[in-house]
């Protein structure tokens, strides 16, 4: 009887499939923070589908609320992700506000967990180049490399490529727009510049953002500056007091035209 039972157990073990050994995870400075773990339910929502190859192909159109967005504004942040970005994401979460993040490729590669948090929280993730050069000064091949590598960095982090590009310094020409369009990217400029990188003053950034914003505005900030993140609660409250609603760029402009430049929702630059 014992011999028979042993034989059964051995046979049972033999038919259990063995899982392949997991590949070692890449080092991620943000992965130790539970707030940055990827919510797999987000990846399964019907409002998104995996971007097909090539990696530079733009994110598919997202299902956005059908409600009127005539009161929407887009608060956007350049140059991250940084050490300040997680704090900013927490503020936006607590205030139930959405934003858009134009990320540097090198930062996206180093901090993919922060991009996953952006995705989980339903913010827009967009391309701000790999190394932050003035794109119009580069040859075509250089522009392509800056955009393509950053698209790949973003896709490596969140499985989708971006739909938006903001050229560093706002520097662009017809070549940049054409190359961006060939990658399915629309260009997002701005009509409200807080100049936060110059004055480093939270109150000043808030005053500019709130006073100059109107329906459809795109507001420019940088999430690499502590004072800029400090300004966000004031900005969100101030915009709402004016009857404006901070949303992601994908919600405010759900069907942008590839290669076209937008300074705000209602008056595209080209």
Cβ-based neighbour number of residue 267 at 10 Å? 9
**More confidently predicted of 2 and 40:** 2
At 179-217, the pLDDT tens digits run 999 999 999 999 999 999 999 999 999 999 999 999 999
pLDDT score for 6: 40
β-strand pairing of 218-222 with 72-78? parallel
Average pLDDT over residues 9-33: 37
In the chain, what percentage of residues exceed pLDDT 70?
74
| Poorest-pLDDT segment among 7-16, 130-139, 227-236, 251-260 | 7-16
Say if residue 43's pLDDT is above 70: no
pLDDT at 68: 83
- Give yes or no for residue 12 having a pLDDT over 60: no
What pLDDT, on the 0 to 100 scale, is given for residue 268? 74
Task: Specify the pLDDT at position 200.
Answer: 95
Q: Residue 1 — pLDDT band, cuts 50, 70, 90?
A: very low
Nearest-angstrom CA–CA distance, 112 and 116: 6
Structure tokens at 171: 């520097």
- Identified catalytic residue from 222, 223, 225, 230: 222
pLDDT at 236: 99
Tell the residue number behind the tokens 């400029």, with chain if given: 189
Residue of higher predicted confidence among 42 and 80:
80
More confident residue, 262 or 48: 262
**Inside any domain, residue 66:** no
Residue 106 has pLDDT above 90, yes or no: yes
d(CA 183, CA 161): 10
Residue 269 scores a pLDDT above 80 = no
Q: How many structural domains is the chain composed of?
A: 1
The answer as to whether 54 is a domain residue is: no
Supply the pTM of this predicted model. Answer: 0.78
Q: Is 39 a catalytic residue?
A: no
Identify which of 101, 93, 72 has the alpha carbon closest to the alpha carbon of residue 251.
72
Cis before 253? omega within 30: no
- pLDDT for the residue numbered 36: 36
pLDDT (0 to 100) of residue 59: 54
Rounded to 10°, the helix 202-212/232-241 angle is 20
The answer to whether 269 touches 189, Cβ cutoff 8 Å, is yes
Place of tokens 């992601």: 248
Active-site entry in 78, 148, 230, 250: 78
Token pair recorded at residue 83: 């050490």
Percent of the chain with pLDDT over 90: 73
Long-range Cβ pairs for the range 58-65 (8 Å, 24+): 58/161, 58/162, 58/163, 58/183, 58/184, 58/185, 58/258, 59/160, 59/161, 59/162, 59/163, 60/160, 61/254, 61/255, 62/250, 62/251, 62/254, 64/250, 64/251, 64/254, 65/251
Task: Please report, for the domain that includes residue 209, its CATH number.
Answer: 3.20.20.370
What is the spatial distance between Cα 255 and Cα 262, in angstroms, rounded to a whole number? 12
Domain that holds residue 182: 78-268
Q: Decide which of 110 and 67 is more confident.
A: 110
Assess if residue 261 is contained within a domain: yes
Residue 57 in domain = no
Token output for 55: 């990696």
Q: In the block, which residue shows the tokens 């034989």?
A: 7
In a domain, 139, yes or no: yes
Mean pLDDT, rounded, for 240-251? 98
Mean pLDDT of 140-157: 98
Instruction: Judge whether 222 counts as a catalytic residue.
Output: yes
- Please indicate, yes or no, if residue 25 is contained in any of the structural domains: no
- Is pLDDT of 21 > 80? no
Long-range contacts of 148-151 (CB under 8 A, 24+ apart): 148/55, 148/56, 148/183, 149/105, 150/103, 150/104, 150/105, 150/108, 151/55, 151/56, 151/127, 151/183
pLDDT in tens, 44-85: 322 232 233 333 445 555 545 546 899 999 999 999 999 999
Report the chain's mean pLDDT, rounded to a whole number. 82
Give Dmax over CA atoms of the chain in angstroms.
86
> Shortest CA distance to 184 belongs to which of 215, 155, 156?
155
Residue 141 placed within a domain: yes
- The verdict on residue 65 lying in a domain is no
pLDDT at 267: 78
pLDDT in the model for residue 190: 98
């Amino acid at each position: 009887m014992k011999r028979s039972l042993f034989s059964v157990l051995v046979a049972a073990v033999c038919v259990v499939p063995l899982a392949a050994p997991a590949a070692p995870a890449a080092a991620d400075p943000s992965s130790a923070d539970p707030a940055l773990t990827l919510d797999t339910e987000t990846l399964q929502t019907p409002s998104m589908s995996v971007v097909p190859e090539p990696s530079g192909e733009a994110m598919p159109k997202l299902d956005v609320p059908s409600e009127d967005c005539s009161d929407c504004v887009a608060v956007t942040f350049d140059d991250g992700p940084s050490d300040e970005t997680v704090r900013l994401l927490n503020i936006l979460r607590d205030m139930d506000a959405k934003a858009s993040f134009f990320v540097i490729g090198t930062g996206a590669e180093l901090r993919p967990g922060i991009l996953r948090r952006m995705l989980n929280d339903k913010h827009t993730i967009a391309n701000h180049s790999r190394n932050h050069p003035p794109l119009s000064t580069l040859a075509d091949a250089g522009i392509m490399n800056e955009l393509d590598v950053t698209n790949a960095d973003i896709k490596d982090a969140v499985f989708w490529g971006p739909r938006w590009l903001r050229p560093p310094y706002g520097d662009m020409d017809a070549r940049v727009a054409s190359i961006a369009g060939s990658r399915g990217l629309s260009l997002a400029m701005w009509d409200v510049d807080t100049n936060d990188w110059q004055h480093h003053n939270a109150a000043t950034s808030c005053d500019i953002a709130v006073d100059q914003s109107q329906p459809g505005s795109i507001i420019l900030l940088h999430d690499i500056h502590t004072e800029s993140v400090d300004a966000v609660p004031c900005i969100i409250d101030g915009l709402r007091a004016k009857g404006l609603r901070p949303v992601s760029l994908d919600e405010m402009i759900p069907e942008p035209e590839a290669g076209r430049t937008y300074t705000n929702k209602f008056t595209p630059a080209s």
